[in-house]
């Protein structure tokens, strides 16, 4: 018998992104390239962005790992394209709020498919998995705010 909490964690949308990740691959004309790994479980994500004029024009990733980490990266990259770095930063913050159990964040339409990951907040040991893609995003964001003198 499937316990309800597991059902709330493994939403169909998550499994769908896990099986058919969006934006997978490399960007030959990337301007940012970040590799992150979780040494505990071996999950890996390499995030590549093409940023021009403060806008993320393209986002791609390659990775391996659990359904949560890979689905999260797939959903995240789908939302990043065409967004300003400032927007991306707000998105990352909102996602972090949702992972901390913030119910408002979990209803925030701006999070798109990422909202399917709200169940992860009830599985503390898996939050790191969901955050892995955003960990990769942090570096280009910090780089940007360092250049522009703050968000």
Partner 1 sequence: MSPSTVTVTGSGIDPVAIRRDFPILEQQINGHALAYLDNAATSQKPTAVLAVLDQYYRRDNANVHRGIHELSRRATSAFEDARSRVGRFVGANDPGEVIFTRGTTEAINLMAHGWGLEFLNEGDEILLTTMEHHSNVVPWQLVARRTGAVLKWLELDDEGRLRLEALDRTVNSRTRLVSLTHVSNALGTVNPVADIVRAVRYRSEAVVLIDGAQAVPHLPVDVAALDCDAYAFSGHKMCGPTGIGVLWARRSLLDAMPPFQGGGEMIRIVRRESSTWADLPHKFEAGTPDIAGAIGLGTAVQYLEGIGMSRIARHEREVLHYALDRMSTVRDLRIFGPSDPCERSGVISFTLSDAHPHDIATILDAEGIAIRAGHHCAQLVMRHFGVAATARASFYFYNTTEDVDRLVEGLETVRTVFA
**Taking contact as CB under 8 A, which single stretch among the options 2-10, 27-35, 76-84, 103-111 is the one that binds partner 1?**
2-10
Q: What is the DSSP letter of 17?
A: H
Region of 24-32, 90-98, 118-126, 140-148 interacting with partner 1 (CB under 8 A) = 118-126
9 near partner 1, judged by CB under 8 A: yes
Could you say whether residue 16 binds partner 1 (CB under 8 A)? no
- Give yes or no for a contact between 75 and 69, defined as CB atoms under 8 angstroms apart: no
Q: Based on CB atoms, which residue is closest to partner 1, 37 or 90?
A: 37
Neighbours of 16 (CB within 10 A): 14
User: Strands 55-64 and 83-84, how do they pair?
Assistant: antiparallel
Helix (H) or strand (E) holding 138: helix 124-148
The footprint of partner 1 (CB under 8 A) covers: 1-3, 5-6, 9-10, 15, 19, 40-44, 64-68, 123, 125-126, 129
């Amino acid at each position: 018998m499937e316990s309800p909490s597991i059902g709330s964690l493994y939403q169909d949308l998550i499994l769908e992104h896990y099986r058919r990740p969006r934006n997978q691959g490399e960007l030959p004309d990337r301007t940012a390239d970040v590799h992150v790994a979780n040494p505990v479980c071996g999950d890996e994500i390499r995030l590549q962005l093409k940023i021009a004029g403060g806008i993320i024009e393209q986002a791609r990733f390659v990775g391996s790992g659990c359904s949560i980490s890979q689905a999260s990266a797939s959903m995240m990259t789908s939302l990043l394209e065409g967004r300003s770095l400032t927007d991306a930063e707000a998105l990352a913050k909102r996602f972090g709020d949702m992972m901390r159990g913030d119910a408002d964040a979990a209803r925030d339409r701006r999070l798109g498919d990422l909202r399917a990951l709200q169940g992860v907040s009830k599985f503390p040991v898996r939050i790191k998995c969901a955050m892995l893609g955003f960990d990769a995003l942090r570096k280009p964001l910090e780089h940007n705010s360092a250049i522009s003198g703050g968000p």
